[in-house]
Structure 1
Amino acid sequence: MAFVRATKLGGGVQTGVLPLRPLTLGELLDAAVALLRGHAKVLLATGFVLAVVEQVVLYPLRVGTARPPYMFPYDDRLELYWLALSVGFATEIAIITALGGLTAQAAGPALLGERSRIRFRGGQFGAVAVLAGAAGAAGFLAAIACGVPWFALYALIGLVVPALVIDRVGPLRAIGRSMVLSCRGGLRGAFVRLAGYVAWGAVRVALGIGTLALIDLAVDSLDDDIAWLIAGTAWALVNTVAYPALACLDAVLHLETRMRTEGLDITLSRARATGRPPAASLVL
């Protein structure tokens, strides 16, 4: 992917996939897709592996809990159905958090118009893995409680890994910084993250149920295990794109929120004007 250096766009300087100015929701989503496109090989490959592992974990929990094609739960399996949903929510939040370790590496150079290769780094990998595991555990508890707390958790911790990787703060400070940034501007960051999740969630549900509904029209009946296998395959494929895209949105949103509320765009412009390395301005 070619990055454009210091060109004008909509009143702001465009140095990469992200203009140096506050963005609308649509522009944020576009920037996230552009970031994903620029590092598609690594992000999609990693997303595919994690999405397949997720479906393998969830398959035994799902079989026999709901009737295809619309997956309404059986009356005598409500507890197991809710457990499967909760584990699914936990794996989602953990995977997106883990992928943030890669997308955050790409976002800084992309903002500055620099080419970069993202890779797994030893020390940083450990911290990201711990945060992803903690997010998954917290996500499971929030989901199994009643479901609603999970969405609040998802909205507030999305910038944890970008804060760790881009701002280079410690894990504990990254958690607090994510919550602070997400709540600024009337919870703008939190709502943007939820909007991205809902958009991709609609695609995933439609694809999984739609695939089963089409097959159900052609086949007289499907056993539950086959139905869930088909749905799981469809979800694994769409999650291969959805999870990295959501992680890209987190990285882009982190930088945009810093521009909107901390003047990062001004700091970077001054660094360029005075000949200082702009990358140093990303670090707190």
Structure 2
Amino acid sequence: MNDSPGWAVPGPSPSDGDRPGAPDGRDGGEGAQPPAQQPPAGGPKWSAEQPPPGEWSSPGAPQAPQAPQAPQTPQPPHQQPQPGAGWGSYAGPQSGQGPSGPYGSPGGPGQWGKPPAAKPGVIPLRPLDLGEILDGAVATMRSHWRSVLPITLVVATVVQVITVLVQKYTLSDLPVTSDAEPSLRELVDTLGGSMLALVANGFIQLIGTIVATAMLTMIFSRAVLGQSSGIGTAWREARPQLLRLLGLTLLLGVGGILLVGVLIAPGIAMGNIAVGLLGGFAALPLLLWLGIKFSLASPALMLEKSSVPTSLRRSSRLVQGSWWRIFGITALTGLITTFVSAIIVWPLSIAGLAIGVADAGPTALENGTAASGWAALILSAVGAVIAQTITMPIQSGVTVLLYVDQRIRREALDLELARAAGLENYGSDPAAPATGG
């Protein structure tokens, strides 16, 4: 098994392989043995074949007929044994249960609601709804601000300082209005230098975002267990996976560019603008679908210590069947963070433009000197630093919690998290809160 910060993850993940007798290939990992061949390790295991609808078999019960045993007192349905140990215990919806297994009806058929669940950290250990995911992201930022805010503040400050310098000394050289038309050579030289500076600036932003995302993922993974994580600890845990995370990010970016290029290439080859635009419009929904499909690859890569191809497969499996739900939560999070950023950035940007106009006169708006002045650039950068410091943890936190939520729904990750959080007999005691996949 591989070890992630605070809680273990399966070596070959439950969603990556097909265990004999497991439905949809979600209950077994690569190289996993059938439960009958696995020695008991502190608790019972689920059998390879799921029990019939509405009836749970005892964990580890043999499938072949056995000799008669002493009669046992039957348990009510809500006290039936739960998956006690091991990975791949996802049983899927059963008869009389909601879409998330036993979580749909804690009090029996017809009594819908949420069962009580242990909450060692920022989220309860059960399938989460939208409010709990957003609340968990905000609660982590609030309760672990000594670790979260310095990371995002440093990254946002470095990125914005470089951005201001690029805008001041490179982009401001682009001709806007001039009495004399610039020569073709001057225009090419100016555009070439500006593009080089933009690429360098974009690469620095990419590196900063990757470092922040990796460290925030580690902090959120511990916050789920109710554990704190310092900046040094988060860095040590994230550092081994940084190159892989960079490779994953570049692969997704290059893949998106190639997809757009392939779809607009026919229009370019034919010299037909309409065909090119049609290809571009066709690329948009494909990019959106692929973006959500692989949106959980980053936390899978960081927390499962997996490779880039494995993390992409894991994300695809976890998102399968929940694309619209994950899309809705991701889109709403984007709208919220965009709105918060606009509230912070726009007033400062307008104030910077006003100062530039006051210094250089009304013509500063026409020739662009107001927007490229120090006042406008610095105030805009200050607003961007504040906005990114606040919104970056929310976006990263929602992604991590979506990953955790999907694994709770599909793989009974709540059992492993409960054991990692030190909750004794969680999921095996009949009086304990109901758990499951």
| TM-score normalised by L of structure 1 | 0.70
1:28-54 Cα offsets, whole Å, 9 max, x none, are 111001112232122211211211222
Q: Deviation of residue 267 (structure 1)?
A: 5.6
Q: Deviation of residue 223 (structure 1)?
A: 4.7
For 2:30, the equivalent position in structure 1 comes to: none
For 1:71, the equivalent position in structure 2 comes to: none
Partner of 1:113, secondary structure, is coil
Q: Is the 8 A contact 2:353 2:371 kept in 1?
A: no
Match of 2:373 among 212, 219, 225: 225
Where does structure 2 lack aligned partners over 5 or more consecutive residues? 1-112, 177-186, 261-279, 359-363, 365-369, 428-437
Match of 2:404 among 255, 266, 278: 255
Match of 1:200 among 325, 328, 337: 337
Residues 66 and 206 of structure 1: CA distance in aligned 2, closer, same or farther (over 3 Å): farther
Q: Deviation of residue 237 (structure 1)?
A: 1.9
- Given the alignment of the two structures, is residue 210 of structure 1 paired with residue 323 of structure 2, yes or no? no
Distance in 2 separating the partners of 1:167 and 1:30: 24
Q: Is the 8 A contact 1:182 1:190 kept in 2?
A: no
- Given the alignment of the two structures, is residue 41 of structure 1 paired with residue 155 of structure 2, yes or no? no
Select the structure with the greater relative contact order (CA < 8 A; seq sep ≥ 6).
1
For 2:211, the equivalent position in structure 1 comes to: 98
Q: Deviation of residue 178 (structure 1)?
A: 2.3
For 1:162, the equivalent position in structure 2 comes to: 299
Distance in 2 separating the partners of 1:30 and 1:275: 24
- More deviation, 159-168/240-249: 159-168
Aligned length, in residue pairs: 259
Distance in 2 separating the partners of 1:190 and 1:128: 26
Q: Is the 8 A contact 2:120 2:224 kept in 1?
A: yes
Partner of 1:20, secondary structure, is coil
Q: Deviation of residue 241 (structure 1)?
A: 1.9
For 1:182, the equivalent position in structure 2 comes to: 319
For 2:161, the equivalent position in structure 1 comes to: 56
Correspondence list, 1:1-284, <5 A: 11-13=115-117, 14-62=119-167, 63-64=171-172, 95-117=208-230, 119-122=233-236, 124-132=238-246, 134-135=248-249, 138-139=252-253, 142=256, 148=284, 155-217=292-354, 220=358, 222-226=370-374, 227-265=376-414, 268=417, 272=423, 274=425
- More deviation, 93-102/197-206: 93-102
Distance in 2 separating the partners of 1:87 and 1:141: 20
Partner of 1:21, secondary structure, is coil
- Which residue identity does 1:245 align to in structure 2? I
- Which residue identity does 1:59 align to in structure 2? V
User: Relative to total residues, which structure has the larger helix share, 1 or 2?
Assistant: 1
- More deviation, 115-124/99-108: 115-124
- More deviation, 236-245/261-270: 261-270
- Which residue identity does 2:135 align to in structure 1? D
Q: Is the 8 A contact 2:352 2:377 kept in 1?
A: no
Partner of 2:322, secondary structure, is helix
Distance in 2 separating the partners of 1:187 and 1:143: 24
For 1:280, the equivalent position in structure 2 comes to: none
- Which residue identity does 1:30 align to in structure 2? D
Q: Deviation of residue 256 (structure 1)?
A: 1.3
Bigger CA radius of gyration: 2
Q: Deviation of residue 20 (structure 1)?
A: 1.4
Q: Is the 8 A contact 1:33 1:245 kept in 2?
A: yes
Residues 268 and 179 of structure 1: CA distance in aligned 2, closer, same or farther (over 3 Å): same
Where does structure 1 lack aligned partners over 5 or more consecutive residues? 1-8, 68-75, 277-284
Q: CA RMSD in A?
A: 4.1
Distance in 1 separating the partners of 2:317 and 2:175: 40
Partner of 1:112, secondary structure, is coil
Partner of 1:12, secondary structure, is coil
- Which residue identity does 2:211 align to in structure 1? A
Q: Is the 8 A contact 2:241 2:302 kept in 1?
A: no
- Which residue identity does 2:158 align to in structure 1? V
Partner of 1:19, secondary structure, is coil
Q: Deviation of residue 199 (structure 1)?
A: 1.6
Residues 234 and 115 of structure 1: CA distance in aligned 2, closer, same or farther (over 3 Å): closer
Residues 107 and 244 of structure 1: CA distance in aligned 2, closer, same or farther (over 3 Å): closer
